Amino acid sequence: MSGATWTPDVSGKQDYDGSLVAFSTRYYPPNKQGPNAPKPHSVMCSILLNDGDEEQSRYEDVAETEVWGDTEAEAKAAAEAWVAEHMERVHRAIRAAFGRDVEWTAR
């Protein structure tokens, strides 16, 4: 169970591709109901590792946080900053695991 699958490409070639890491975020508008109202704008942010099960597509949640803002734009900006910081950490960790230069710049 590798999580990769064979797919046709052009000219009879085939690719064996799969994904390993996913970043997932979900925006929640303010909660205006319940005992804790009003809750500010928030975004749940996660880093997920594909567990390799092709049929179930399950992921292991390896990092999670919730960020907030007084406005939707502020909450989303905080989520984007968290993802950018952690994406850099994931890139560095993978590159280091394979003996590659950990200095990496997003394109």
pLDDT for the residue numbered 54: 58
The two tokens of residue 74 are: 């502020």
Whether the pLDDT of residue 31 is over 50: the answer is yes
Contact, 77 vs 68, CB < 8 A? no
- The domain spans of the chain are 16-97
Q: What is the DSSP letter of 65?
A: E
pLDDT for the residue numbered 100: 86
Q: What is the DSSP letter of 99?
A: T
pLDDT for the residue numbered 1: 43
Contact, 3 vs 18, CB < 8 A? yes
- Mean pLDDT over each residue of the chain, to the nearest integer: 84
Say what percent of the chain tops pLDDT 90. 51
Q: What is the pLDDT of residues 52-77, one digit of tens each?
A: 665 666 788 999 999 999 999 999 99
Say if strands 14-17 and 59-69 run parallel, antiparallel, or are unpaired: unpaired
Whether the pLDDT of residue 34 is over 80: the answer is no
For residue 83, what are the CA distances in angstroms to 63, 68, 79, 95? 11, 14, 6, 18
- State the Cα–Cα distance between residues 86 and 103, nearest whole angstrom: 15
pTM, two decimal places: 0.76
The two tokens of residue 92 are: 């560095």
